[in-house]
Structure 1
Amino acid sequence: MQVQISQIQPGNNPRKYMDPGELEELTSSVRSLGILQPIVVKKAEGERFSIVAGHRRFAAAQAAGLTEVPVHIVDEDIDGDAAALAENVIRADMSPAEECNAAIHLLKRNHGDIEEVCLLLGWTRDKLTRRVALSSCSVKVREALARREIKLGIAELLASVPEQANQDKALEKIIANDLSVAEVRAFLSKLTQKLEKAIFDKTECQTCRFNTALQATLFSEVVAEDAYCTNGECFARKTEAAVRAKADTIRDDFPMVRMVGISDPETYTKLLADGSHGVGAQQCTACKQCANYGAIVWNTPGHEGEIEADICFDLDCHEKMVAAAHPVASVTTSAAATGIDPEPGDSEPLDDERESGEDPEPDATASEAGSCCGGTTAPHTGMLTNAVREYRRSVWNQAAIMTLVQNPEKGHILLLVLLSKGWNTDRLAIAETLHKYGVTGGSLDTMCATFETAEAKRKIPNLTAAAAASAVVLMSEAQVQETLRYLHPDLSEHWQINADYLKLLTKSQIEAVCEELGLRDTLPAKVFSGKKDQIISGILNAGVDFTGLVPQHMQY
């Protein structure tokens, strides 16, 4: 049946690109021989027909100047999309990208029924799956494939690249440099990560489209034959999360745990007891009680998740400890021998009182740094964690207050010193203390007369000691430390190792304290093999007499 070209309108053509050269050849054939194979159409509105299959022949007929063409009219209920796709695939080299777009369109129309679409197209399930997989390519990549600017193998390789913007960037370079499939594969393979070496849970990876093992079931061209991940960003994110989880498992073991990646600065060093970079055995034990001692969890290529213990994160302090452990024999002074400038000692913190009556800010390192660098023989225990510092301060306060209560004369002297340094009566809580002793106020002569009696005179030392004791809690850490050095109490009479103290320490700190106090070898080895709570329970239930055992970092 012949129909006027003017009565025919284009239908839904899955072929979006017609090669100009091939179309010109077909046009020449039509001029010479006419349309040999009827165009498949179906009824449209009025007297018009809509093309189901034969868009290239119709375009060639128009270009050849024909006024009518032969047609084959099909049932209006026929699936025109399926017929058009099937006819194009059979009759000409339809682009895989165009097949992909059309197949997805049919799947949507058929509510994802793969078997139905395969029957409509006459395709195998494998072919349909492979074509649909090309939907992972960006629009620009599929358009380039449809225009024959790139080969199918390159499109398949680009489908493994995450982020379509990255595919588009790669596409520009591929076309500009006329790269082959092998060259593209070689480049992309450098960006992959072998899943076998991944330290995270790979359950999701088994069905991920960026798994090259899965890609191999979809494409003939893949970046790698084995199971590799082509989504480097996702791989790095999951690896970092796994490393972070690994770090969390040892937070109770070390005072400081740090993740270190390839771009992180090297602000750490290995803590050694012996050798040219060693700090000495005794100092090494003390260093393990420091807040800047700990472990590294590596997040560098080939070492992801590996733990390295015995790390010092204070390079300046470590340098001083190494120098102190290796003095220069020809120089007599300790500062010159170690090459270390002496640390400032406690420069009479009570003299640092300002006229305003405000306490100077507590020096975060004064009590820790002075013991080693000040020239004493005690090892340097380094920086303490805030929790241990607060606990130690409470022990110091208790020791100072109890000593003042037991030695009223020293309290009287301390009170005079505090007054001479500008401490006002409000800070010393003198008024509150007087009230407790029955002195409730009045004129100066009345209050003075109150203390004239023999009974009151006996209370004066206790009153002044109580006033001095009340000042202890208002002192800075350095001031309490200096006060204790004046009072010189035996801390072991006021405190001993207990569960509350040990819970503030990490496993490594507990072991270091036991080492320092000579308990490491007396306790059963199994005590230190469990979790922190088990270690604490084992130590406290081992029948050890802790009397007189005060760790260096608790001393004043």
Structure 2
Amino acid sequence: MQNPTVVIGKIRPGRNPRKYFDPVQMAELTESVRLDGVVQPILIRPIEDDENGHEYEVVAGERRYRAALAAHGEGYQVPVSVKVLTDAEAARLALIENVQRADMAPSEEAVEAAHIVGLLKGDRDEAARVIGWSRSTLDKRLALLNCSDSVLEALNTRVIQLGHAELLATLAKDKQDKLLPVIVSEKKSVVELKKTIEAAACSLESAIFDKSDCAACPHNSSLQTEMFGEAIATGNCTNRACYTEKTDRKLEGIAYGLKEEFPIVRIVRAGDNHTRIQLKVDGPTGVGEEQAKACHACQNFGAAVSGLPDSIGKVFSGQCFDTACNQQKVAARIKAERDAAKAPAGKQGAGKPAAATKGDKSSAAAEKPVTVISESEKVKQYRTELWRKALRKEVAQNAEQANAYLLAIAMHGLSRNIGGDVMGKFFEKLTEQKPSSTLQGCLTAVHGMDVGRRQQLTIGMTVAAIDGMEVSNLRELCRYHKLDLRHHWNLQKSQDFLEMLTKSEMKVLADELGIRKVLGDGFAKLFGKSKAEVVAGLLAVNGFDYNGKVPKVLGY
């Protein structure tokens, strides 16, 4: 069966892991395609909204694509295989196709592997499985991404070997660039380079951990009995395992100190290039003001602690760890702005509101914030207990309603949720008598109660059923009851709820309830303080009416 063909001018190059194309081999391939055409179809995928009008993108076969374009021009009908693929699927197939060819540089593999790790939200185990590598192979390739551009280029063009690059990747990039010309000019072997690097193993000057223990350590290369203060500043640690362990502990300590402020904190290392992106409001990679507020409450928003030699220990806040989602939000903002710009001025109000201009505080977008607070397990447990407590309180005030709910609960087969021990305790509290251990005794005791106490016992049974109810049924009961949480929750009495949130989530809460507006310029000042001070400040905002305001995350 003959493969379909597509005019090559409708196809654009894709994300090719291969950056180096041997000029001699490309010239030979181009001449072959000029004489015989493209024999093996290239793999392409459909695309939309391309600025240059392309309809397809190359997934695998860029060398053939380049050769055909050079040999026959944009009108050439090239044989293709068309597949509908996501970005992640396309990246995976492109990498596999190139890895299976022996002449692909490890640095090129590293770049694309990092892209796949990013699409999988940093899950290296899954990335290794998808690519078909072992985890150790993946980690070794990703470590190459700490190489400087000149070292990567040298590896791409086969000027240095993989072993050279792996050793240079352990150094700061400026040091790599100083060593590279020496390696090339003196033709140093991998073994010779290893000895050079081990001699100057780990710089104590750039160490981020407490170096007091290094003063008398035999592994300190500059250890001297006198003038030690000067020596330690320029010395090196020759015990890499100890140096690495202390560095890792320090990085973990930095990350731990940020956990109260951000939903997620990660230590990033070589190869994590595509696992995070700086969240921006405006510009080419901006998500827009309202979406940025929502992102602050997302479980994938947080801070990165650098584990890279050039920026070891540095904290990068405002990071999005779901790069694919971020790209979608950026694309949505750009599309919305384009659509708004194309719409006639008189019709912008008829459909969706136009994008808000800078300083426009009355925009429709500002009236409908899309912010949310993360539904962590702690928040879910808090919310469920709030529903139970509010329902218990209202049901206890209406015996007739309690009776109706109890009958419905029994009809639905949920009466098993009412524990006999719970009812026994309630009976004992009501009558000051121990409940009987036999059915005959219980019948006699209930029959002897007056109507008022029987109603109270019915209420007690309903309350017990509510306490034992699964969350899905509890939510259904709340909806039927039309439970109004505004009568049961107040922020000023809910310090425990605030303490469950990160500072970023508290900003979302302040936006949602209207506290930011009341604080005005004092908002930024408040959130510049510690978490404990922010909590205290939010509980005592002058001029803010706390009544009747419940965050959406507590709703049913």
Structure number with bigger Rg: 1
The TM tier, using the shorter chain, reads 0.3 to 0.5
TM-score by length of 2: 0.47
